[in-house]
């Protein structure tokens, strides 16, 4: 595996014949990331000898809306590189912020439809930061494919729209959410949970299942479906605080009053300063 820390190194190493499968991450790699990397390796095999897997490890400062969140984000770079080496990654791109952003930068990329609710509503500027850095990574790597986790359903939908609207020749793929035995979605943020919060956090998933059970019994009112989530979470996770909870159209991500089309329940929940997201498809 080759570690690339500058754009110059990347440009010298990546050839026009390479078919790159990119896994963008912010590091603190865990089993969820490993699953995405393994999916990337299988995808790269489709391109024969030209298939290469690249993992970017970059804590993107412009997608954080809270300074405390950025400052506390784990960055175990040596462990991350060891994981990439073990899994068989070809390139690990680990730039500094100054390598990605000029001090007088004045251009950003934004999306103004899919990002109007959910994380886009509660984290101002977040998806501008995501869209800007992904545009940069797509320009730098020119990947044949890129893989993102379905845990962040909204992010995946926005990046698919980004690739479509800006005509990137990149296949944007989703990787299934990987969960701990408790049902809690794996996240780099989980390490920040206290013991008490870690014990209650799996209630996010069980509350999702409780809401889906109401839908599966024939309920179509989004308010009543979401009420089942709130009731379950309040009972089993009193330390939690809901940041947002929405039932949205699976394609447009607009809020639904009646679930009469494919839909997604999406939530963000705080346990003190740790913000966890999850979703379930109806």
Which residues are known to be catalytic? 33
12 to 7, 9, 63: CA distances (angstroms): 9, 5, 28
Strands (E), 11-124: 19-25, 51-57, 91-93
Dig out the tokens for 168 from the structure. 């990137």
274-281/263-271 β-pairing: antiparallel
Cβ pair 180, 186 in contact under 8 A? yes
Rounded CA gap, 40 and 90, in Å? 11
The CA distance from 238 to 253, in Å, is 28
Cβ count near 263 (within 10 Å): 23
Contacts of 250 (CB under 8 A, 6+ apart): 261, 262, 263, 264, 281
């Amino acid at each position: 595996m080759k570690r690339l820390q500058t754009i110059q190194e990347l440009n010298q190493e990546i050839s026009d014949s390479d078919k790159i499968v990119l896994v963008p991450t912010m590091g603190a790699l865990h089993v969820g990331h490993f699953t995405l990397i393994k999916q990337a390796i299988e995808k790269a095999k489709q391109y024969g000898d030209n298939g290469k897997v690249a993992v970017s490890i970059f804590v993107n400062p412009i997608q954080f809306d809270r300074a405390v969140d950025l400052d506390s984000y784990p960055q175990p770079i040596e462990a991350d590189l060891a994981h990439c080496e073990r899994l068989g990654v070809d390139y690990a791109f680990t730039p500094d912020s100054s390598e990605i952003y000029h001090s007088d930068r004045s251009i950003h990329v934004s999306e103004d439809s899919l990002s109007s609710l959910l994380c886009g509503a509660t984290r101002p500027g977040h998806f501008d930061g995501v869209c800007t850095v992904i545009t940069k990574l797509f320009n730098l790597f020119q990947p044949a494919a890129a893989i993102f986790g379905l845990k962040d359903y909204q992010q995946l939908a926005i990046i698919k729209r980004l690739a479509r609207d800006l005509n990137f020749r990149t296949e944007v793929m989703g990787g299934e959410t990987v969960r701990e035995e408790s049902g809690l979605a794996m996240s780099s943020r989980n390490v920040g949970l206290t013991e008490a919060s870690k014990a209650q956090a799996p209630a996010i998933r069980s509350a999702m299942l409780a809401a889906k059970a109401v839908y599966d019994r024939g309920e179509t009112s989004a308010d009543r479906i979401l009420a089942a989530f709130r009731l379950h979470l309040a009972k089993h996770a009193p330390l939690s605080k809901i940041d947002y909870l929405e039932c949205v159209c699976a394609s447009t991500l607009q809020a639904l009053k009646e679930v009469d089309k494919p839909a997604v329940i999406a939530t963000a929940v705080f346990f003190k300063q740790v913000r966890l997201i999850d979703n379930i498809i109806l």
